[in-house]
Amino acid sequence: MKTTDFLSVRDVSGEEIREIFHLAADMKADRKKYAEALKGKALAMIFEKPSLRTRTTFDIGIQQLGGFSLYLSPAEIRLGQRESVHDVAKNLERMVEGIMIRTFSHQVVLDMAKYASIPVINGLTDYSHPCQAMADFFTVQEIYGDVRGRKLAYVGDGNNVAHSLMFAGARLGAHVTIACPSGFEPNATAFEQARMDAEETGAVIEVVNDPVEGVQGADAVYTDVWASMGQEAEADARKAAFRPFQVNAALMAHAKPGAVFMHCLPAHRGEEVTDEVIDAPYSVVFQEAENRLHVQKAIMYLLMK
């Protein structure tokens, strides 16, 4: 990759994304082939938000590549409080070969990359979730052979996941529709950036306020929790606004025959998705979760080798 960090899907070109997918597929098929690819190299993992998939996949991933990880909890770091982002970055660059950070403010990740001379990977911010979107479209590619021209309908909050899905779809020539209640649309700048990128690839990026319209003709229907971490105080109000956007069997019936269901997890069953959908044969949520491991291994390898 031309970039030295992975902070957003927009950091890489469509060609580079496909190269990452090719490498991820090879790593998934033959784990032992890359068992010493990052031998002896260390990844610092900074967490200011709890995690199951991000922690497990980065931790296991670096080990499967021959390296090792160091988990740094909120209590140990407290970025900007106990120690500045600048000082944390300058310390870690002398001790490890890469940094993965999962935090709230996207600016923190940008600053970490600015000050650290080693690769920085965005494990999630309130603005974007690039590793998730990469795993999502890798999963779509596994299912359909290619993502170009395929439609992914995201139903729910125009949040960090929605932003990264738009960015990835635009880079890859896919059709991404965000269906959300009025007032919960994606960030306007993120939407315009995705639309701009889409002009170069023939992708279609759109936002609608009707879930049925959104999923029409979709190859994949995707949703996320209605209240993300840090939005707990808004949970009740959000439930009222998002209830018509629940992904259930009736909504899935409007998608293309054979469409798959996707979710970045964790899922609040009975809220954004029903059991009959998330547990259906067409649900690929655990395939997605596994693919976080393979895609992130490819990203770590390309940045840290």
Catalytic positions, written as ranges:
102, 129, 132, 224, 264, 292
DSSP reduced 3-state for 216: coil
How many CB atoms sit inside 10 A of residue 137's CB?
28
**Separation between Cα atoms, residue 222 and residue 139, nearest integer Å:** 12
Contact 176, 207 (CB under 8 A): no
Report the chain's C-alpha Rg in angstroms.
Answer: 19
**Axis crossing angle, helix 14-29 with helix 160-172, rounded to the nearest 10:** 100
Q: Looking at residue 10, what DSSP letter applies?
A: G
**Separation between Cα atoms, residue 116 and residue 244, nearest integer Å:** 45
For the chain, list the strands marked E by DSSP.
42-47, 68-72, 98-102, 120-124, 151-155, 175-179, 204-208, 220-223, 260-263
Query: In the chain, how many H helices and how many E strands?
Result: 13, 9
How big is the chain, counted in residues?
A: 305
Residue-by-residue DSSP string for 24-87: HHHHHH-GGGGTTTTTT-EEEEEESS--SHHHHHHHHHHHHTT-EEEEE-HHHH-BTTTB-HHH
Q: What are phi and psi of 186, to 5 degrees?
A: -60, 160
